[in-house]
Amino acid sequence: MHARLLILIMVVLTGCVHRIQVNPLPAGPTSTTIPRSLQIAVGPLLMEGADHMPGITLLEWPQRDLSQALIRYVQQRDTFSSISTNPADLTLRVATKLALASRQGRYHYRVRLQADMRETAQLIKAYLVEHVVAGSSVRWVTASDRDPIEAALQLALDDLLTQIEADRSLYMSGKGQPAQ
């Protein structure tokens, strides 16, 4: 009897976890390029609200998925000559925070990216972007979390890369590259 109860509890609990995988995509390649290699270093993902508010299904967003999503996005945007997790001309360090709140009968997903661009150990510029996307009024299926998270992350990445591209001249002057 105890074994059945334990199995039932495990099934219920694992069925209530939304495991998120996202694939944010840029609208297309950018017209602003920075002919330097870029290393992307993604810090731990901080989540607020999803596991602490009454009645909210547990949310799991693996840091590895976030890291792969950021790398894919930057590669497809084609701002830099190459993108990797290995040492490169420039390093973009990104810290991500996801906050989930229930307001006015809907769930709101806030993605905040704190990023800094470095050349070797020297900070060149820091960036902060944040976007909130309203989701549904219920969270019964994984897509009810995944879709607004992906949308908020895509908007945040669009803003981040637009700012980096606007600062192109800052990143052209190092390692023998002519300022343009």
- How would you class 109 by CB atoms within 10 Å of its CB: exposed for 0-12, middle for 13-18, buried for 19 or more? buried
**Between 94 and 121, where is the model more confident?**
94
Q: What integer pLDDT is reported at residue 16 of this predicted model?
A: 66
How far is residue 180's CA from residue 171's CA, in Å, rounded to a whole number? Answer: 10
Q: What integer pLDDT is reported at residue 92 of this predicted model?
A: 98
- pLDDT tens, residue by residue, 9-51: 444 444 567 788 899 999 889 999 999 999 999 998 998 875 5
How far is residue 134's CA from residue 33's CA, in Å, rounded to a whole number? Answer: 33
Whether 109 shows a pLDDT value over 60: the answer reads yes
Label residue 55 by pLDDT band (50, 70, 90).
Answer: low
Whether 8 shows a pLDDT value over 50: the answer reads no
> What is the per-residue DSSP string for 47-110?
EESTTTSTTPPEEE--HHHHHHHHHHHHHHHT-EEEEESS--SEEEEEEEEEEEEEETTEEEEE
Name the percent of the chain lying above pLDDT 90: 58
Whether 111 shows a pLDDT value over 60: the answer reads yes
- pLDDT tens, residue by residue, 136-169: 877 766 678 889 999 999 999 999 999 999 999 9
Whether 7 shows a pLDDT value over 50: the answer reads no
Q: Which domains does the chain have, with CATH numbers?
A: 39-172 (3.40.50.10610)
pTM: 0.83
**Facing residues of 114 across strands?**
95, 128
Q: For residues 63-92, give the mean pLDDT.
A: 96
- Residues composing the chain: 180
